[in-house]
Amino acid sequence: MHFKTILKSLKNKDMLKRIFIVLGILVAYRLLAHIPVPMGDAKTFKDAVSSLISKSDFTGFINLISGGGLASFSIILVGLSPYITSSIVFQLLSKAIPSLEELSEDGETGRRKINQWTRMLAVPLAVVQSIAYIYILYQSVVSSNTLSFTPTPRDWVVSVITMTAGSIILMWLGELITEQGIGNGISMIIFASIISQFPSTIGSLGQQLFDTKNGSLNLFGWLNLPVNPVLFWVALALLVVVILILYWLVKLNEAQRIITINYAKRIHGNSAYGGIKSILPLKLISAGVVPVIFATAFLSLPALVGQLISSMDKENAMAKTISEIFTMPNASNFKTLYPNGINERWFIYPALYFLLVVLFTYFYTSIIFNTKEIADNLQKQGGFIEGVRPGMTTANYLEKVMTRLNLFGALALGFIAMIPFITDYVAIMLSDAPMGLSLSGTGLLIVVTVALENLRQLDSRALMVTYDDYK
């Protein structure tokens, strides 16, 4: 990374213009997060959303990547999840349908066409998700007897259209950011969404830190600091742990196995070409955070079904049990679900979560990394791995390497997803209450991945605008 070049590029007017445009778009996005959905009393629905987030890890994840849009019941409540879902669907279909696979390999034209179809599919998905969110929230409010009005069909239509429009506007803002060439727009919006949770967390921690009702911190008998002594050391330990985790996540995100590719030397007439070496980098975590999204969505389904059955039949014991088992244990629902303290049922959700993350990592990597296709392309280009025959032998070799990488990658991704549960368990053992971190290990992984990718793109743009300065 050329940080000196990036600083030097800030003297370029075009570079500054692009950066300010991106910052302006991100500010506009954060303003949208505070415009409520026109559906009666916004505060009533905000309370229902807060209750829903505490019961589901998936809705908590959606709230995280929407920058609190779900918790504030804003018009961007649906967020970018329809676009992300649509992208994953087309990514899977392009491997299952030969015509789509051929189109995806047809250069820039094919990719543009698939991107257009992805955006088109995201619109009906946004409509469906908007209806689902409104219906679930409405049922939640009705069951708690806090609804002061009955929505008319017009209210439903306006709310769904508004939420769908909010999702489409986010897609458009993402495209505008991408056009500036200093980062992926969708990733940058998700990055801004997660980062936007920091000020409230830091403010809450700071307020508790400077609360000296139970005494202040005395250092070495001569320096008295106006801070809570217990919370000071807890905050310091937490800061050290976060720094270590960030360092580990950077190393984990950049970890890759380098395979050397040799190209045979060829002679054509009087010219000789080939005889060079290249590399094939295989990432430790090729699947990114998609397995976590799949796992949270999969585990949220039983809890959602249980809640819907309970709202219709409050005496249904099985629905209540299913809902409790598949509800993510956290700080907001711990006292309700586990009034007598932690028990065996507390470990069921984390164990299933870890197992599903590992399984979906293997599944998604096998979809996006086609070893036979890579082996065929290498053979066509005259490339080979030293000591491995071209063709199926190369495909089997790559499959073996990826299986080994997947083992460590899947376990590492599973551990990242477990960070909130580990911290809560330690806090429960120490203070009989979960810590309730607002940022999970998955959120940190997204922040690290997007930050590194955007830094690379910014570095490339900086090299481009300062190229003429090199002599």
Q: Say what the pLDDT of residue 143 is.
A: 62
Q: How do the residues of the chain divide into helix, strand and coil, expressed in percent and rounded to 5? A: 70, 5, 25
Q: Say what the pLDDT of residue 462 is.
A: 80
Return the CATH number of 255-438, one of 1.10.3370.10, 1.20.1250.30, 3.40.190.10, 3.30.365.10.
Answer: 1.10.3370.10
Helix 153-179 vs helix 13-32: crossing angle, to nearest 10: 160
Name the strand (E) or helix (H) holding 87.
Answer: helix 81-96
pTM for this predicted structure:
0.72
Q: Bridge partners of 257?
A: 282
277-283 sheet: strands from edge to edge: 277-283, 256-263, 383-385
Q: Which CATH architecture has domain 1-197+450-471?
A: Orthogonal Bundle (1.10)
Domain ranges of the chain: 1-197+450-471, 255-438
Mean pLDDT by 10 residues, the chain (471 residues): 74 84 89 79 64 59 60 77 82 79 76 86 88 74 60 82 90 87 80 77 74 73 75 80 84 86 69 70 82 76 70 70 70 64 76 88 82 84 83 89 88 84 74 61 74 80 72 50
- Sequence-ordered list of residues with C-beta below 8 angstroms from that of 232, at least 6 positions apart, any chain: 209, 217, 225
* 3-state DSSP of 289-358: CHHHHHHHHHHHHHHHHHHHHHHHCCCCHHHHHHHHHCCCCCCCCHHHHCCCCCCHHHHHHHHHHHHHHH
